[in-house]
């Protein structure tokens, strides 16, 4: 994959963050209040500022946290589509530089990330509501996650 740093994938980002993503950015020196937001379904997402991810430098066309960026950003443009499964996002102008082996590897990471983010949202929702169901409904939660990650 050869990224041209066009910034299209950082515009009005809906990027979901795992707790590991948050920790990595905090360890790099960023206060979580400055970059994350919670949605009404218990998912943690990257904040936008002036139409782009808070970490996107529009003047230099660069991600300011490239080495520490969320796993979803690292995996992109391989995404999970609710209808087509693992796909390469049509939006990315460099989509043709991804080979089959990379697509497969990143596809596995998307699924892994989906499960982690989903479980974390479920736990967050349970602790907010004071409930503890004791079990995770992975498929049901995965569907709710997919509605948020699909772009």
Q: Which residues sit at the interface with ligand SF4, rule CB under 6 A?
A: 10, 13, 15, 46, 53, 55-56, 63, 65, 69-70, 73
Dist. CA 13–CA 11, nearest whole Å? 5
CA 20 to centroid of chain Cα atoms: 12
Nearer to ligand SF4, 53 or 88 (CB): 53
Least distance from C-beta 88 to ligand SF4, angstroms? 16
Nearer to ligand SF4, 46 or 149 (CB): 46
Q: Dihedrals φ, ψ of 62, to 5°?
A: -140, 150
Nearer to ligand SF4, 10 or 122 (CB): 10
Least distance from C-beta 13 to ligand SF4, angstroms? 4
Least distance from C-beta 36 to ligand SF4, angstroms? 11
Nearer to ligand SF4, 67 or 134 (CB): 67
Nearer to ligand SF4, 69 or 106 (CB): 69
Least distance from C-beta 140 to ligand SF4, angstroms? 28
Least distance from C-beta 137 to ligand SF4, angstroms? 29
């Amino acid at each position: 994959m050869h990224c041209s740093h066009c910034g299209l994938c950082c515009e009005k980002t809906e990027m979901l963050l795992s707790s590991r993503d948050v920790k990595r950015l905090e360890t790099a020196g960023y206060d979580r209040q400055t970059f994350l937001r919670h949605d009404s379904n218990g998912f943690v997402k990257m904040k936008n500022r002036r139409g782009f991810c808070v970490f996107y430098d529009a003047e230099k066309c660069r991600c300011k946290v490239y080495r520490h960026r969320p796993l979803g950003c690292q995996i992109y443009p391989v995404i999970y589509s609710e209808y087509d499964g693992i796909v390469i996002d049509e939006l990315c102008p460099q989509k043709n530089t991804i080979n089959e082996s990379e697509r497969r590897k990143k596809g596995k990471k998307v699924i892994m990330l989906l499960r982690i983010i989903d479980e974390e949202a479920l736990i967050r929702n349970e602790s907010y509501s004071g409930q503890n169901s004791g079990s995770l409904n992975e498929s049901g939660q995965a569907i709710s996650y997919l509605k948020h990650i699909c772009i």
